[in-house]
Amino acid sequence: MLHIALIEPEIPQNTGNVARTCAATGAHLHLVKPLGFAIDDAKLKRAGLDYWHLLNITYYENLADFLRRAPGPCFFFSSKAPRSYTDVHYPPDACLVFGKETAGLPEELLLAHEDSAVRLPIRAEARCLNLSNAVAVGAYEALRQWDFSGLRADGELTRHTWSGYPPAP
């Protein structure tokens, strides 16, 4: 199982979008307090609309609590990290860890985990990607390495079939 951890997320819409990604992929969501919003915030729910029943969420009181109980090998995503997220192998039960929107992960944490600090390549002029976009990119790389195990591999049209004929009534 893939694990996604958000350290002190601040924007409810981002966390809602991440929750939706977790629900769609079967990833376990880990939220580390303090949160910048109430968990029942309407903006949070709207971003993950209709997916909340598919979520598995664990809450932590703070970063130390999370690090003490981390669910598996952690990979710390930061625009400051030394290697690309595609240069590492994500083992089963990998936990992709992301920092808060305004500050990212603490540099001391990144230094303590240099071998597992990774980044998404971006232009030098850009500070970082949106949190929910970064989570989706990282999650799908890990899932790709695992051959998308447990995920649906085909798609269906709603009014047609891929052979060009409408579905049978």
Q: Which residues pair with 77 in a beta bridge?
A: 98, 118
Q: Indicate the angle between helix axes 131-145 and 12-25, nearest 10 degrees.
A: 20
63 is in an annotated binding site: no
Distances (CA, A) of 112 to 92, 105, 108, 109, 117: 22, 12, 6, 5, 9
120 is in an annotated binding site: yes
Residue set of the binding site for S-adenosyl-L-methionine: 99, 120
Residue set of the binding site: 99, 120
